[in-house]
């Protein structure tokens, strides 16, 4: 049973790291879509007519009315990823402790 728990902890750690990387990628793309030449986000009229940002896999399209959506989604991914990575790392250390002690001997 502990072997299965260790595998679940490893999977949780991997998913947590990928959520963190996905959050960074999403914020990077979102910022680059706003700061690109020709679409000044200070000019709200031009911003609302020309700017849109698609969610990963084109599941949703953000417009100027919901322009903070990618940042909010990224923050959620980052928080979930950090929580999952920290909890999984502690669980992995707890379940792998006997095996590590055997290797030290």
State the pLDDT confidence band at 36, using cuts at 50, 70 and 90: low
Please provide the size of the chain in residues: 105
Q: Which residues contact 72 (CB under 8 A, 6 or more apart)?
A: none
CB-CB contact of 19 with 88 (8 Å): no
**Hunting for tokens 């959520």 — which residue is that?**
19
Q: Please give the pLDDT value at position 75.
A: 94
Q: Report pTM.
A: 0.76
CA distance 56 to 28: 13
The domain spans of the chain are 2-37+67-104
15-35 confidence digits (pLDDT tens): 999 999 999 998 888 887 777
């Amino acid at each position: 049973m502990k072997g299965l728990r260790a595998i679940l902890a490893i999977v949780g750690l991997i998913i947590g790291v990928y959520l963190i990387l996905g959050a960074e990628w999403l914020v990077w793309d979102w910022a680059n879509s706003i700061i690109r030449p020709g679409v000044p986000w200070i000019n709200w009229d031009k911003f609302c007519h020309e700017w849109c940002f698609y969610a990963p896999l084109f599941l949703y399209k953000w417009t100027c009315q919901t322009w903070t959506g990618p940042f909010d989604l990224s923050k959620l991914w980052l928080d979930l990823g950090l929580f999952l990575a920290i909890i999984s790392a502690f669980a992995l250390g707890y379940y792998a402790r006997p095996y590590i002690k055997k290797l030290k001997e």
